[in-house]
Amino acid sequence: MHLSVKNLSHSFDYPLFHDISFELPPKTSIAVTGVSGSGKSTLLHICSTLLKPNDGEVFFEGKSLYKLSASELINIRRNDVGIIFQSHFLFKGFSAFENIELSSVLTGLPLENELLEKLGISHILKQKPGDISGGQQQRVSIARVLSKRPKIIFADEPTGNLDAATATEVTELLFNYIKNNNAILFLVTHDLNLAKCCDVAYKLENLALKRL
Ligand X SMILES: Nc1ncnc2c1ncn2[C@@H]1O[C@H](COP(=O)(O)OP(=O)(O)OP(=O)(O)O)[C@@H](O)[C@H]1O
Chain residues in the site for ligand X (CB under 6 A): 12, 16, 34, 36-42, 86
CA distances, 118 to each of 28, 39, 121, 124, 143 (Å)? 22, 32, 8, 13, 10
Where residue 137 falls (left for φ over 0; alpha for ψ -120 to 50; beta otherwise) is: alpha
**Which of 166, 178, 183, 192 lies closest to 31, judged by CA?**
192
Give whichever of 89 and 94 is closer to Mg ion, judged by the CB atom. 89
Smallest distance from the beta carbon of 189 to ligand X, in angstroms? 10
Smallest distance from the beta carbon of 42 to Mg ion, in angstroms? 8
Question: Residue 180 binds what, of ligand X, Mg ion, none (CB under 5 to 8 Å, by partner type)?
Answer: none
Q: Are 200 and 211 in contact (CB under 8 A)?
A: yes
Smallest distance from the beta carbon of 192 to Mg ion, in angstroms? 16
Question: Residue 135 binds what, of ligand X, Mg ion, none (CB under 5 to 8 Å, by partner type)?
Answer: none
Number of other residues whose CB lies within 10 A of the CB of residue 175: 17
Give whichever of 38 and 136 is closer to ligand X, judged by the CB atom. 38
Smallest distance from the beta carbon of 149 to ligand X, in angstroms? 26
